[in-house]
Structure formats: C-alpha cells, structure tokens
Homo-oligomer: A and B are copies of this chain.
Amino acid sequence: MTTNRSASELAFATSLSTASRKMQTTFDGLLRQKGLTLARARALLHIARNPGVNQSELAKFLVIESPTLVRLLDAMENQGFILRSAVEGDRRAKQLSLTESAQGELRQVEELSQIIGAFMLRGVDEEDLAVATRVLRHVFENIEAAMDGHDAS
C-alpha cells in the first residue's frame, strides 16, 4: 500500500487528461452527424435555457475565454444554429438565441447528453462520484487561487 504521494499525483494528472479527452471525442463522435460537438452542444443548451444571454456571460458559464467562444459562435451561426442580435442599451453587446431549426434538435441533444453521461459513469457509485467531483473542483480552485495575483477577477 502506502504508495508514494508524488506517484499518486502523477497518476491522477494522467487520468485527468486522458479521461477528459476521451469524454470529448466520444461526445464529438456521437454528435457529429448533427453537425455538433461537445463544446457546441454545451453552448446550445445554455442558450436554450437562457435566451438572450450575451457572449461574455456565456463564456463565463462555459469557463472558456471569449475568443474561443467567438469562433465557436461563428461556426454555429454559419451552421444556422444560433443568432446574434443587438442588445438595446448597449451597442457593444450581442444577445444570443437559437434558430428554429436548432430548437427542433434540442430534445435529441438533451437526451443524448444524458445517455452519454449515464453511460460514461456506469458502475460508479454515488459516493465516489461525489468525491471525484469534489476533488476536481478542489484542483480547479487551487489553481485559480494561485493565479490570483496575475488575473484578478
């Protein structure tokens, strides 16, 4: 037992990055025929639930930087999934909404998300899942805190 701490840390870091990529590529593969990806589906679902949201709010929710979102939305706009429209009272901002065609796909995207989520975590009990999620958040916060001096929010 009593494995070396630093070996445990390495194992964790490795598992973290491989599991994350695996999740993404699986999602991407399954959503592909719809012209969607994991990132696009997430954006789609948030816009559906928060119509009129603007880009910076969406970026904050998705925890991505705004240039990343700009490109994501450019693609989704070209695909005819979303609309960017003017916000009255602030000419810098744009509010986001789904096109009708995207709304038609919504239900299926939601179902698929649930199915993949359940599938990927099949055999993981509730308690372990909670622990894992807590550890992941802890990691995020440790790093976030360390970056404080550099990027004061």
> Interface of A with B (CB < 8 Å)?
5-6, 8-24, 26, 63, 113-114, 117-124, 126, 128-140, 142-144, 146-147
Contact = CB atoms under 8 A, between A and B. Distances in A.
Given A6-B118, A119-B146, 20 more contacts: A8-B130, A9-B118, A9-B121, A12-B129, A12-B133, A12-B136, A13-B23, A13-B120, A15-B137, A20-B20, A22-B143, A22-B144, A23-B139, A26-B143, A122-B142, A123-B142, A124-B138, A124-B139, A128-B131, A131-B132
Interface of A is mostly: helix
Contacts of A121: 9, 12, 138-139, 142
18 contacts: A9-B117, A11-B133, A12-B117, A12-B129, A12-B133, A15-B137, A16-B19, A16-B23, A17-B20, A19-B20, A22-B139, A22-B144, A23-B143, A121-B138, A123-B138, A124-B139, A128-B135, A132-B132
A16 B136 contact: yes
Given A124-B139, A131-B131, A26 B147 contact: yes
Nearest to A136: B15
Nearest to A122: B142
